Structure 1
Amino acid sequence: MQPLADLAPPIAAQPRYSAVVAIPARDEAERIGACLDALADAAAQAGPVAVLLLADRCADATVEIATAARARVPYALVVVRRVLVGSALRNAGDAGGARRAAMDAGAALLAPDGVLMTTDADTRVAPDWIARNRAAIAAGADAAAGRVTYLRADDRALPQAARRRERLERIYARLLAELRARARPDPHDPWPRHDMASGASLALTLDAYRRIGGLPRVPVGEDRALVDALRAAGARVRHCPRIRVTTSGRLDGRASAGAAATRRLRAEGGDPFCGPDLPALDDALACLAGVRMRAQARLCASALPGEIERAGALVRMLRLRSAGACRGDNPVPARSGLR
């Protein structure tokens, strides 16, 4: 068990809510205030909601700042402190374990038909974030994944070469998402959509969370593992581009192999390859065709312009095939826009 020392009334004594936002936090004193204030704006549009903040072995003022925020936010804010010792520290003392503990505690606050959401302590949700997550679930989805962008100030701090690479990756990711959506339409996840699965913006029904046994026990990549587990269980997952959050683009993240570590490596000129969520186009097409491949070579970042051109041509062809349904789509970026 992972002992949680409540700094609010015990969870068992709390009322049950129709929606709960679970947030893991580790030494986030600089950012937690903005996170909670953004959720206040979102809660004002969405009705009764609770926020469960799990302070994971914090050594700074995260807990004090969050506790003080109770006086100004329009939602029920439950703050718990996570304490790990001995084997628990070895087995669950990671970012994935912290999110699982936060989501498990949040689930305990939910009504049987409730919606469990999660975001990050360095993230600011859009004012309609809670409402749009609830709307996606009400429309028939079992889970909803939101679109994540970085704070502009953090983007500007990156070297120009790193910023250009990230821009190319975003273009390629959008093309792959559209290619998949048009080549193999999913009535529960239609175009427009994206392919992100980030812990900064996830929502699911309590039933779906319990059906898969909670958040998968992995040290990193727990967000992608959650979506994969939901799909394997037959859940309907909506990747809604209108569910939006803005997150820190910092280079000193909490997960040893998370997004911050990847950004730092790229800022230093390392990591010439894209992540596994951006396969080479041939590999992506093989997957769409149902061809099993023993191993996929990681896509080299220098190949992105060419892959974008090829993917763009395929997307344009698919758009033409369904022109009546695709009026108003944004044009595929031309080569001149990649320089």
Structure 2
Amino acid sequence: MNPEAIAVLIPAHNEEELLPRALAAVAAAARHPALAKLHVLTVVAADACVDDTAKVAREAGASVLHLGSQNPGKARSAAAQHAMATLGTSATATWIASTDADSAVPPHWLAFQLDQARAGWEAVIGTVTVPRWPPVPHLADRHHELYNASRPAGGESWRHPHVHGANLGVTAEAYQEVGGFPALPVGEDHALVSALERNGHRVLRTPDCPVETSSRLRPRAVGGFGDHLAQLAAEEGVMH
């Protein structure tokens, strides 16, 4: 695949504080020289927001969708549909990248996914890192232990088991073939990747281009990465 356009999807529920950093990071990734001839459209799905999330997104140059479902699956799906309609490119020439409002992609994030698309991968499933931890003893160590449990020793290639909406990319064609993000309140990213793998699409699971994400223990989305950290923090509080 040789993409002509890239859609970046960001669901957001009351994210006026963290969204500017996320959008600045995506904008920097879109300015990478490897994307010089591509149209990059960032779509923020402002889902059931009562703050200035939509205003922040518009001021940063993103296309904004207003939703009222407070459902990440519906938000990502609606953002993808809006992006495809706005870009006007065919599914065979469009790459869909997904991240989160509390995350910051690295400057080469889109260029990295573009390289994998050109190499024939139909989806790229990345990892996340946490740059700043809350003051909970042993939380970071426990997370790293569990997160990297399956990583091979000796620097061998790691086909990791994780799926994060904060670090995911897929061809629009493969995305549409499996029905896109399902309207789930949690796990829409896992469901999409499972469908891609079940239907025989070429899925690259790689730790080579991680995305920084928040360590907040009171996340916006129930049942996601933040809840996982909150559960670990509670366990560490009991254990120590």
Please give the TM-score of this superposition, normalised by the length of structure 2: 0.87
Cα displacement string for residues 280-337 of structure 1 (whole angstroms, at most 9, x for unaligned residues):
xxxxxxxxxxxxxxxxxxxxx9xxxxxxxxxxxxxxxxxxxxxxxxxxxxxxxxxxxx
State the alpha-carbon separation in 2 of the partners of residues 235 and 222 from structure 1: 18
Alpha-carbon contact 2:143-2:232 (below 8 Å) kept: no
Matches for 1:38-77 after TM superposition, within 5 Å:
38-45=25-32, 46-47=35-36, 48-70=39-61, 77=62
Runs of 4+ in 1 over 6 A off after TM superposition: none
Q: Secondary structure at the match of 2:58?
A: helix
Highest relative contact order (Cα 8 Å, sep 6+), 1 or 2?
Answer: 2
Matches for 1:1-339 after TM superposition, within 5 Å:
18-45=5-32, 46-47=35-36, 48-70=39-61, 77-83=62-68, 89=69, 93-110=70-87, 111-112=89-90, 113-150=93-130, 152-153=131-132, 155=133, 157-175=134-152, 191-269=157-235
State the alpha-carbon separation in 2 of the partners of residues 159 and 26 from structure 1: 26
Alpha-carbon contact 1:115-1:204 (below 8 Å) kept: yes
Alpha-carbon contact 1:20-1:109 (below 8 Å) kept: no
State the alpha-carbon separation in 2 of the partners of residues 68 and 222 from structure 1: 28
Change beyond 3 A, Cα 1:230–1:160: same
Instruction: Name which one, 1 or 2, has greater alpha-carbon Rg.
Output: 1
Consecutive unaligned residues in structure 2, runs of 5 or more: none
Q: Secondary structure at the match of 1:24?
A: strand
Alignment root-mean-square deviation, CA: 2.3
Change beyond 3 A, Cα 1:195–1:262: closer
Q: Secondary structure at the match of 1:230?
A: helix
Partner of 1:306: none
State the alpha-carbon separation in 1 of the partners of residues 210 and 232 from structure 2: 25
Per the TM alignment, residue 196 of structure 1 is displaced from its structure 2 partner at its CA by 2.1
Q: Secondary structure at the match of 1:195?
A: coil
State the alpha-carbon separation in 2 of the partners of residues 100 and 270 from structure 1: 36
State the alpha-carbon separation in 2 of the partners of residues 244 and 61 from structure 1: 28
Alpha-carbon contact 2:129-2:213 (below 8 Å) kept: yes
State the alpha-carbon separation in 1 of the partners of residues 140 and 31 from structure 2: 35
Amino acid at match of 2:110: I
Per the TM alignment, residue 103 of structure 1 is displaced from its structure 2 partner at its CA by 2.3
Consecutive unaligned residues in structure 1, runs of 5 or more: 1-16, 71-76, 84-88, 183-190, 273-300, 302-339
State the alpha-carbon separation in 1 of the partners of residues 98 and 136 from structure 2: 31
Per the TM alignment, residue 271 of structure 1 is displaced from its structure 2 partner at its CA by 10
Q: Secondary structure at the match of 1:116?
A: strand
Alpha-carbon contact 1:95-1:254 (below 8 Å) kept: no
State the alpha-carbon separation in 2 of the partners of residues 63 and 227 from structure 1: 28
State the alpha-carbon separation in 1 of the partners of residues 127 and 223 from structure 2: 21
Change beyond 3 A, Cα 1:271–1:22: farther
